[in-house]
Structure 1
Amino acid sequence: MSLPPELRVLCFQLSSTPAADLPRLTPTLSRHVLQCQIPLSSPAGNAAKADAPASSVLVHKLKTQLSTLLNGKSSEGRFTAVVLIKAVVEVGGWEILRGAESWVRGLLSILGKPESTAVKELCIIALTKIYCMTHPYQTLVREITTPTLPAFITSCLNLISSKSSSKTVDVPSSLRETIFRSFSMLLPCHTTIYRPFISQIRLATRPFLAPTLSDDLFVPQSLKESSQRLHVLLHRTAPKNAGGDEWGKAVRDLVQAVHGTADHVFRAVIENWESTANYSSKAVDVNQPLNGGGKAVEDLPPWTGIHAGTERITGMLEILAGYFRSETSAPVAIPLGSIVDMVMRMLSIAVPSSLAESLNGHGAARLHPAIDRDERDGLWSGLPQIYVAALQLINTIAERMEQAFLPISQSCLDQLAWVFPFGRHSPTFRLTAYNLAAKALLCIGQSFGKSQVGKLSGIIRSCCKDLHSADPNFNNVGIAESAAKKSKAQLEGSNHNADTFLSTAIAMPRGELLEPTELVTAAGELLPLLLSRIPQRFLDISLRSLIERTAILTHNKGAMLASILNPFVGKNGKAMTSILPHLTREFGDDDVVEILLRPRMPLLPSKSTQRFAEEGVQEGSEDEEMDVYCEPDSREGDISPAAPFLPGTAAVAAHPGLGPFANSPDAEGSHPESAVFGSNGPHDSSFSITTSLPKTLGAPVKDYSAPQNQTDVDMDQNDESSGDESVHLTMQLDTDSESDE
């Protein structure tokens, strides 16, 4: 195989182009490196005889040119060398890594020079890539990583650490973020090397874990996330068999810190919350300005003001959620009771309003008379952020614990239903609430009673409303109705403004559909669970009609299938009309819909196959009656062998009295239960094709050859019905025509 021309072009351009012009050619040179994988990754002895000398010469020349640029005096040349070294190492693999020690030391020297921030960030990225690629090879770890990694950690900490706090702002946030991300990748692989630097890393990440408005610097969201990720990994540097204890201690200390901050932030209200984990709230002096934090070296920086306090609580809840997202080096004991107790406290503060009592039947929070109105208003404005952070923590715990989330799912869902009216105006809150409600319904939805189902009415209506707002058909109708009402009100008034008669709302064309947002996606995933995981006998008929109307108009196939597989029966014993016609119209080509429409349709064999099956049945009956040996019919030799369904057809014809397929042992084994949340037994009504279809297939077989009189249910006769049932269209399948055919 001939050498790629890109290797020759690469060497030529590096040698002929001035160093000042190399940054402009760096993207092109990087593409050339990607085309040179074979000569860079192949040993010199394994190359083709004709190309071995040329390949070795060109690869050696490329390495020499990169080393020259890396150690040169030109800043542009060093920039290009760092970029190309990373690309060459990624393409060449072990063949390049075994000789990359000189490059590693050259990159480390750049970190100690007064170089630009961009070059230093590229050096950190290149060194991180080299250290990660050497980890599978113990020889390279001993030769390259172990001798140089401590110097790399020291250089990085020197870049972001300073004895003077005034110089903290001078360090670019991008450089800090790059270093934190590098440490997060390398620390789990080299815990022993990082152990002596833990105290310095804690000090470096401390100002960025939970920043507030009272801090002297601006912290981007990406920098906060990278520092939190590194902070939760520090427990892995503990000595052998002590990582789990360090993890548990860090989580318990953080829970106590959240409680301590909440004692100050929530001083404007008289809490009705009672701890179930033996936590006693500390007395707070209401005559002093609101502040906290910074009392110990290991504490977070001090904060001042109600807005900074709510941000501090939100940041600490995010750190606590990070402990459940990251891996641990040893088994850990989760203080679940303390965490749930703390979350319940965060969700027990109700926003006071005149409608608070009518929203959920509970009174608003009692106010402390010694706190001024400004602090109370700041608390009300920051409570939705605390709600979201607390619910995201529970969501993270549910994802990590999976089936073990069952014991606390009921209390979490009850608290969510209680606090939902106070935070539903926030889209982020609704998104988190829908995700948590879906997880809780998967665990315990089928065990709900009437009172528990009634608590979910607010979440159900909000879910349908969010799906309505995302559909352009609803928007167009709403715009037309609002315009008509507005015109009528304007005509009735005495004074008119000519500009108000001009409609500024623009309806979205029917063909232009926007991509669904995360909120709409979460609501769409929750909608089928409201039909499959909640006992429908306890659901109000108006809510059932609202869910079905939303499923039909938003084309939610999962919710429509769940509605058909979980029919609703009113208090008078009459079943609500099925929405199967709407499902057939929208998804007529779907295999699942075809199974629902024709669940017991027999095979239609060809004439020759049917004749052979009838003859096989007759021969079998003659053998049983005569009990003698019969010569095979001579016509059997004329039958074509290409009939794959002959045995099955004969078996069906010979044994018409077999039980339904769903009741056979093979059928039970062919429908595995959910691997995530387990099985709820034979009454599992979750929307799943494998668990729901046997309910249809196992029903008594009706005689479709005889005409049947089907009567539609008159929804107007139901005392419990409302105007929401008008969406249901009645359609009768003409079985008479099928039988005539």
Structure 2
Amino acid sequence: MATMSLRAVTHRLTTTPVQQLPPIASFLATSLSDCGELLSAPQNQKTGKSDSDNAIQIHKLKTRLGSLLQDRSFEGRWTGVVLVKATVEAGQWEVLRGCEPLVRSLIAILAKQDPVTTKKMCIITLTRIFHLTYQYPTLVREITTPSLPGFITSILNLVSVKPSSEPIRKLRPSTPFLEIALHVILELIARHPTTFRPFSAQIHSLLQAIIGSTSPTYPKPVMELAQRLFISLHNCAPKNAAGDEWRNANLLTISSIHRTSDYVFRSIIEQWESVDPNLRQAAAPQDYTQEVGDDGPDPLGLSGWRGIHSGVDRILALLRLLSTFFSTPTASAVSIPVGQILDLTSRLTSVIVPNESGGVQANSQISREERESLWTELPRIHAACMKLLVSAMNALETGTMSVAQTILEQATWVFRAEKFSRKVRVSMYNLVRSLLPIVGPSMTKQAVSSLTDLFQTCCVDLLPPADDTNPSAGSSTDAKGKSKANQVAVNADSFLNSGKQVRQVKQGPLFPELKRAASELLPIILTYVPTELLVPSLRGEIDRKIILTADKNAMISSVLNPLPAARGRGAGSSIIPFLARSYADEMEVEGLIRPRMPVLMSTPDLNGNVVVDEDEDEDEDMSVSAYQPTTQSTGFLRTSPPSAALSSQTTSVETFQTSTPAPSLNKRVYEEPTPQAPVAQPAEKKEDAQVKRARFEDDTIAAPTKPSLAKESPATFTGTAAIPVEQSSVTTTSTPQSVQTAAPFPKPVPATTPVKISAANETEESDDEMPTLNMEPDTDDDDDEEMDG
């Protein structure tokens, strides 16, 4: 099938006119991708006629692609670029080793007057070829190294102009190739830093113009690519100097932010003092009669700016650049200036929007308008500071343990003053979400109390509170207090729901980013903050919000971290019913509610054998089968009063019959009496009586277990109770001991009560028949006299 596809592609390329090739270019590229097995097969191993035919078709394909790249028409060159990329990706090394002529043709297309789409596709194809050759050192030496400098020059010429006498470049005013050019250079500079080293100054000049722009000239993707590429330029540094280059760029960025802040914060007198002695020096003198601004260049080489809004934009751009330092890979190990970064954030967060009581010392030489413009811009600066701290936390993780408390104090200081800003709340939620997994378990009650306001605001942002309103009552009240002339201002729509109590939720604009940040913070609070330090009212509010929003992660966190019981209150209620109702088909909820782990009865020893206490098992068996006393209500055993027993020297026996006799009861077993007859509990305590376990010596055999008589009445018993008989060495009969029962005593049963045997024993004969009881005493006369005495 692959042979047929390859033959069909070459046939259509050679027979179809060039102007008709673009519509079928995608189909031909897909067909070539299906021929990867043939294109990647070694061509020097020819074993048959079919292999020779395939080699001929591959040669025709390469020849046709080369001619299309050099075609005079735009359609031919565009089709050639598309098919070259598909062929290279399908053939891999077999096609790459002979693609040097194709690379030269592709670079030449970048200098021609081709459409933008053709040049963009050409840049993508060349970048793909350089990526595929990176794993083959021979191909890198033969193809990439000679071709890459020309490719870089062609890309820079598409986006900028280089004066002949200057080593820097100037961006073209509006070029469509800027984004793709920055992306390609960023992809290749890490793998070929030596080749890019001669062009680092030219690239740096272009990036300064993009990063230093204060007006929204460039879109956000271009700004992000420029920042990442600016940081990646440290790869082009000489050997063993990449780390120092990275640190110097970081420090220069911090210095540029401080210089811009000197101008932006000139309308107030700052109370901040830097820990860096170089920054303690007095700032450059400013002309307060002129508009706020910097003529430049700053320590980073950026151009000047004018206006408070442009100055804040410069600070935001540099803060984003500083955050990108933490997320961009480096060529070697680097040292992060954490102290300088926290010093910078301390300065930026120390200036907050003043409240009604003031708290900020104003500079009398600056107009009120500029100061009020600064108050408007401060939330943007503080939100960018929080994002910078989040980037540092995500990069360093537990390495920020020593400075986490400082970061938290700076953040809470800003939140208390500017929580009205949505951007500040979003950035604050993200920062606390990164901080709590690190410092949450070790937080004190005072630290948790300082975050209570933030937690409550998070609940409000997640779901606004309900509002009970009664439009009719309010309207009537207002109508009574107003004059007749002012009644025209009453809202007529409020009378539509007259007489009804309406419970509404305060609806506001939907901010998905704010709700996402709030919903992601609640599970972190429940998981990492000690539950005993959360106020019960706050914990209840959090549980209510996650129930109403049906957030699965937050509900699971609440169930796994219940509110512990404390003195004065019981254990907190669990929201597991709401979790089961909302997510009944989730595996996590199923495993949480009904775990299938088997119960561990005992602990195995080192050899894997289960250790069983035999004495404990014997005691349990005896406690089940041993004779236990019963009260009068059971009717299991009835005896005559002690006086009647002594006078007649007889005992009454009550019979019983089980509804479903077990096979083990077909034979009667006679056992020795217990050493001490159990005494029944008093009648007034029979309901709460606890039966004591009968203990036996080694020569004592437990009596058979009593059958259940819960459904029988004492009047219906017909069986015979198995009375233990003492086995004496002198005689085979003995006088049974009298058993005390709970008062009042039941009526004595005549001694001549016949013994009724069950039907199963009447039909078949038993070897063990009931022996005749000898009622004569077996004691001596002397013993009788002692007893009478």
Normalised by the size of structure 1, how large is the TM-score? 0.72
What secondary structure sits across from 1:367 in the alignment?
coil
Residue by residue over 1:255-300, the C-alpha shift from the partner in whole angstroms, topping out at 9 and shown as x without a partner, is 1111011111111222222323333251542233211253369511
Q: Which of 571, 574, 577 is the aligned partner of 1:575?
A: 571
Query: Does the residue aligned with 2:112 lie in a helix, a strand or coil?
Result: coil
1:465-511, Cα deviation, whole Å (9 max, x unpaired): 23215xxxx7xx66x959889977887771147885699xxx9xx9x
1:647 aligned partner: none
User: In structure 2, how many angstroms separate the alpha carbons of the residues matched to 1:428 and 1:528?
Assistant: 21
Give the Cα separation in 1 of the matches to 2:107 and 2:53.
Answer: 32
Aligned residues of 1:420 and 1:458 also touching (Cα < 8 A): no
- Give the AA of the match of 2:261: A
Are 1:397 and 2:392 matched, yes or no? yes
Deviation track 1:30-54 (CA, whole Å, cap 9, x = no partner) reads 3223222222222235578353233
- AA aligned opposite 2:206: A
Label 1:598 to 1:500 Cα distance change in 2 as closer, same or farther (>3 A): closer
* Deviation larger for 38-47 or 87-96: 38-47
Structure 1 residue 189 displacement after superposition: 0.6
Cα distance in 1 for residues equivalent to 2:176 and 2:369: 36
Structure 1 residue 383: Cα displacement: 2.1
- Matching residue's letter, 2:573: T
Write out per-residue CA displacement over residues 202-253 of structure 1, whole angstroms, 9 at most, x where no aligned residue.
112111114212xxx7111111111111110011111111111111111111
Q: How big is each residue's C-alpha offset from its partner over 1:323-371, in whole Å with a ceiling of 9 and x where there is no partner?
A: 11111112111111001110122222212343xx6xxxxx543332222
Q: 1:552 to 1:64 in 2, by over 3 A?
A: same
Change (3 A) 1:33 1:346: farther
Q: Aligned to 1:308, which of 307, 310, 323?
A: 310
1:343 alignment counterpart? 345
Q: Which amino acid aligns with 1:282?
A: A
Relative to structure 1, is the Cα distance of residues 416 and 87 closer, same or farther in structure 2, using a 3 angstrom cutoff?
same
* Contact 1:570-1:576 at 8 Å conserved across structures: no
Q: What is the distance in 2 between the residues matched to 1:322 and 1:424?
A: 26
Structure-1 separation of matches of 2:72 and 2:264: 56
The structure-2 alpha-carbon separation of the partners of 1:48 and 1:340, relative to structure 1 and needing over 3 Å to count, comes to farther
Which amino acid in 2 is paired with 1:577?
S
- Unpaired runs of 5+ residues, structure 1, are 358-362, 606-612, 623-705, 707-741
SS of match in other structure, 1:578: coil
What CA RMSD, in Å, does the superposition of the two structures yield over aligned residues?
Answer: 3.7
Provide the C-alpha distance between the structure 2 equivalents of 1:49 and 1:619, rounded to a whole number of angstroms.
Answer: 85
Aligned to 1:333: 335
Which amino acid is the alignment partner of residue 463 of structure 2? H
Q: 1:368 to 1:29 in 2, by over 3 A?
A: farther
Give the corresponding residue for 2:438: 443
CA gap 1:421/1:603 in 2 versus in 1, 3 angstroms: closer
Tell me, in whole angstroms, the C-alpha distance in 2 between the residues paired with 1:602 and 1:296.
69
Are 2:178 and 1:179 equivalent residues in the alignment? no
TM-score, normalization by structure 2:
0.68
Distance 1:131-1:545 versus aligned 2 partners, 3 A rule? same
Kept in 1: contact 2:254–2:344 (CA 8 A): yes
Q: Partner of 1:116 in structure 2?
A: 115
Counterpart residue number, 1:256:
255
Counterpart residue type for residue 55 of structure 2: S
Identify the match of residue 529 of structure 1 among 524, 530, 554: 524
In 2, the alpha carbon distance for the partners of 1:119 and 1:393 equals 40
- Partner residue, 1:27: 26
Native 8 Å contact 2:256 2:298 kept in 1: no
Change in Cα spacing, 1:491 to 1:123, as seen in structure 2 (3 Å) is farther
Cα distance change, pair 576–566 in 1 and its aligned pair in 2 (3 A): closer
State the one-letter code of the partner of 1:273: W
1:663-678 mapped onto 2 (5 Å cutoff): none
CA deviation string 1:292-329 (max 9, x = no partner) = 25336951121111111001011111111111111111
Give the distance between the partners of 2:568 and 2:331, measured in 1 at CA.
59
**In 2 relative to 1, CA 3–528 (structure 1 residues): closer, same or farther, beyond 3 Å?**
closer
Deviation at 1:178, TM superposition (A): 1.1
Aligned length: 591
Cα distance change, pair 515–371 in 1 and its aligned pair in 2 (3 A): closer
User: Which letter maps to 1:337?
Assistant: G
* Shift of residue 23, structure 1, vs aligned partner: 2.9
Q: Is the 8 A contact 1:131 1:145 kept in 2?
A: yes
Distance 2:470 2:206 in 1: 56
Q: Which has the higher helix share?
A: 1
Map of 2:548 onto structure 1: 553
| Aligned: 1:129 with 2:158 | no
Aligned to 1:206: 208
Instruction: Give, in whole Å, the separation in 1 of the partners of 2:2 and 2:324.
Output: 49
CA shift for structure 1 position 136:
0.8
Match of 1:13 in 2: 12
8 Å contact 1:584–1:593 — kept in the other structure? Answer: yes
Residue 495 of structure 1 pairs with residue 488 of structure 2: yes
What's the CA shift for 1:409? 1.4
Q: CA separation of 1:590/1:14 partners in 2, compared to 1, >3 Å: closer, same or farther? A: closer
What is the deviation of 1:181? Answer: 0.9
In the alignment, what sits opposite 2:283? 282
Instruction: Using the TM superposition, give the Cα deviation of residue 454 of structure 1 relative to its aligned residue in structure 2, in angstroms.
Output: 1.8
Read off the aligned partner of 1:71 and give its amino acid letter. Answer: Q
Change (3 A) 1:58 1:402: same
3-state SS of 1:195 partner: helix
Shift, 1:596, TM fit: 5.6
Q: Does structure 1 residue 418 correspond to structure 2 residue 418?
A: no
Question: CA 1:341–1:482 in structure 2 vs 1: closer, same or farther (change >3 Å)?
Answer: farther
CA distance in structure 2 between the partners assigned to 1:502 and 1:6 by the alignment: 77
Q: Please give the alpha-carbon distance, in whole angstroms, between the structure 2 residues aligned to 1:455 and 1:48.
A: 80
Pairwise CA distance, 1:193: 0.9
CA pair 54-381 structure 1, distance change in 2 beyond 3 A: farther
Pair 499,115 (structure 1): closer, same or farther in 2 beyond 3 Å: farther
Secondary structure at the residue paired with 2:238?
coil
C-alpha contact 2:379 2:423 (8 A) present in aligned 1: no
| Greater Rg over alpha carbons, structure | 2
Find the counterpart in structure 2 of residue 654 from structure 1: none
Query: What's 1:154 paired with?
Result: 153
Structure 2 CA distance for partners of 1:375 and 1:13, relative to 1, 3 Å = farther
CA 462–18 in structure 1, closer or farther in 2 if over 3 Å, else same: farther
CA distance in structure 2 between the partners assigned to 1:95 and 1:125 by the alignment: 20
Q: Secondary structure at the match of 1:269?
A: coil
Q: Pick closer, same or farther for the CA change 1:489–1:51 going to 2, 3 Å.
A: farther
Structure with the larger RCO, 1 or 2 (CA within 8 Å, 6+ apart):
1
Which amino acid letter does the alignment assign opposite residue 579 of structure 1?
A: I
TM-superposed CA distance for 1:433, in Å, is 1.8
> 1:396 Cα shift?
1.2
2:533 corresponds to? 538
**Per the alignment, do residues 422 and 59 of structure 1 end up closer, same or farther by CA in structure 2, a change over 3 Å counting?**
farther
Tell me the distance in 1 between the aligned counterparts of 2:533 and 2:600. 43
Percent of pairs identical after alignment?
Answer: 36
The whole-number CA distance in structure 2 between the counterparts of 1:484 and 1:409 is 53
Aligned equivalents of 1:140, 1:486: Cα separation in 2: 84
Question: What is residue 455 of structure 1 aligned with on the other side?
Answer: 450
> Measured at CA, do residues 73 and 294 of structure 1 come closer, stay the same or move farther in structure 2, by a change above 3 Å?
farther
Once residues 537 and 302 of structure 1 are traced to their aligned partners in structure 2, the CA distance between those partners, rounded to angstroms, is: 54
One-letter code aligned to 2:186: S
Q: Residue 267 of structure 1: SS of its match in structure 2? A: coil
How far off is 1:574 after superposition? 3.8
Name 1:658's counterpart in structure 2: none
| Contact 2:204–2:230 (CA under 8 A) maintained in structure 1 | yes
> Which amino acid in the other structure matches residue 41 of structure 2?
S
Deviates more, 1:345-354 or 1:573-582: 573-582
Residue 74 of structure 2 aligns with an amino acid whose one-letter code is S
> 1:68/1:534 Cα in 2 relative to 1: closer, same or farther (>3 Å)?
same
**Contact kept? 2:243, 2:332, Cα under 8 Å:** yes
